[in-house]
């Protein structure tokens, strides 16, 4: 039998924490106020007038159904890690629903519920697992499209909230979108937390050799020179590509401007950079 490593124990602990936070967000904020949020809780509330069952029964049924879907499409490892969530979340939800009402304004309940639930979902997904609920479809769609998980969470949760329009009205839908926006934003932040935050910069300048020199010597970053052709002039134009940490970009920009005020820059955010100088450092 394979020995359980420290990383495995850490992953299990974080999955437990993630599911508990999700249950708190749903049990203490979403369900008590009948908020049209995303996820299985929001779908259960949207279906409540149509399906005369306790929302928890609907939630448990959806969790099981989504677990089966994820296991079939995302594979054995997903099934093993998500099985833990599928057991823990219903138990935690049963407990959190018995907690005393928090007694806040419904708008604040929607906001806090979205933040706490998004934090729980984000922590769980970051461990390569799922809560077994409506975060499974975003994971499946991410696998086939490459579009970010948080974007799919927002789209699917938005559709879920929209389903409640005919039974609950516009005000309830708008209130629910507070939870959806909060949850999707927090999920995105959690998924990129701890990753290298960097800027990828493309530089076109007649003084590219001087710019290369300062990048290497003053910024201490590597470069790649791409050979391009100007579309209008037809002339050859070397293009410098470099990746710098976010806190290095202001210095880089100032140095480039001092060398060539007319330099053309294209700057994009990079949420994950791996390799020498970023994910590891050379040791003498």
- Which structure tokens are listed for 145? 């499209």
pLDDT computed for residue 210 by the predictor: 94
> At residue 284, does pLDDT exceed 60?
no
Helices vs. strands in the chain: H and E counts, helices first: 11, 4
Domain residue extents for the chain: 6-192, 198-270
Mean pLDDT, residues 140-161: 84
> At residue 43, does pLDDT exceed 50?
yes
Per-residue DSSP letter, 132: S
Rounded-to-integer distance, Cα 154 and Cα 29, Å:
19
CA dihedral 58, 61, 62, 64 (to 10 degrees): 160
pLDDT confidence bin for 172, thresholds 50/70/90: confident
Considering the entire predicted model, what is its pTM?
Answer: 0.66
- How many CB atoms sit inside 10 A of residue 146's CB? 7
Strand-pair partners of 240: 203, 225
CA dihedral 216, 220, 222, 228 (to 10 degrees): -50
Longest Cα–Cα distance of the chain, Å, equals: 72
Q: What is the pLDDT of residues 193-232, one digit of tens each?
A: 766 578 899 999 999 999 999 999 988 889 999 998 888 7
- Domain 198-270 annotated CATH 3.40.1380.10: no
């Amino acid at each position: 039998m394979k020995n359980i490593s420290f990383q495995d124990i850490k992953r299990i602990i974080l999955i437990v924490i993630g599911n508990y936070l999700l249950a708190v967000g749903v049990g203490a904020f979403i369900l008590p106020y009948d908020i049209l949020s995303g996820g299985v809780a929001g779908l259960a509330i949207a279906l409540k007038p149509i399906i005369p069952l306790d929302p928890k029964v609907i939630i448990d049924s959806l969790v099981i159904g989504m677990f089966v879907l994820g296991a079939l499409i995302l594979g054995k490892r997903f099934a093993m890690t998500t099985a833990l969530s599928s057991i823990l979340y219903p138990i935690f939800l049963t407990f959190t629903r018995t907690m005393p009402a928090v007694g806040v304004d419904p708008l604040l309940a929607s906001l806090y519920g979205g933040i706490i639930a998004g934090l729980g979902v984000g922590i769980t997904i970051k461990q390569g697992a799922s809560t077994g609920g409506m975060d499974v479809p975003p994971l499946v769609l991410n696998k086939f499209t490459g579009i970010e998980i948080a974007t799919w969470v927002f789209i699917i949760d938005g559709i879920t909230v929209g389903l409640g329009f005919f039974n609950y009205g516009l005000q309830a839908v708008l209130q629910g979108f507070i939870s959806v926006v909060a949850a999707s934003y927090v999920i995105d932040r959690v998924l990129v937390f701890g990753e290298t935050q960097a800027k990828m910069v493309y530089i076109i300048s007649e003084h590219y050799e001087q710019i290369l020199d300062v990048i290497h010597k003053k910024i201490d970053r590597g470069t790649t020179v791409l050979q391009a052709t100007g579309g209008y002039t037809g002339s050859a134009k070397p293009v410098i590509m470099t990746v710098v940490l976010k806190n290095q970009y202001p210095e880089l920009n100032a140095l480039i401007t001092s060398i060539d005020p007319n330099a053309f820059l294209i700057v994009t955010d990079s949420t994950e950079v791996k390799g020498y100088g970023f994910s590891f450092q050379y040791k003498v």
